[in-house]
Amino acid sequence: MSIADIKSPLPGVFYRKPSPESPPFKDDGDAVKPDDVIGLVEVMKSFHEVRAGIAGVGIRFVVEDTDAVMAGQTLAEVQA
C-alpha cells in the first residue's frame, strides 16, 4: 500500500462538515470510496463538493475545518 493525496480542485475555504452542526463527512481513520464526499470548498460564496477520487483506507486530514486552501493543495491522505 502506498499513500495517495486528495487535493483541492479549487481555491477557497475548506469545510469538513456539511453544516456547522453536522458531524464531519469523514473522520480520520475512515475508509473512502472514489465517489465519497470528503468535504466542501467555498469559492466566492458558492459551495463545491470534494470527492475522494480514489478508494482507500485510513484517511488522514492535513488541513483543518475552515482553513483557507489553494487549488492543488493536499487536503487529506489515504492508504490506497
The whole-angstrom separation of Cα 23 and Cα 60 is: 16
The whole-angstrom separation of Cα 32 and Cα 55 is: 5
CB of 78 to other proteins, least distance (A): 25
Closer residue to other proteins in complex, CB, 28/65:
65
Closer residue to other proteins in complex, CB, 13/54:
13
**Contact residue for other proteins among 43, 54, 63, 80 (CB under 8 A):** 43
**Contact residue for other proteins among 13, 54, 55, 63 (CB under 8 A):** 13
Contact 3, 74 (CB under 8 A): no
Contact 19, 45 (CB under 8 A): no
The region of 25-33, 39-47, 56-64, 72-80 touching other proteins under the rule CB under 8 A is: 39-47
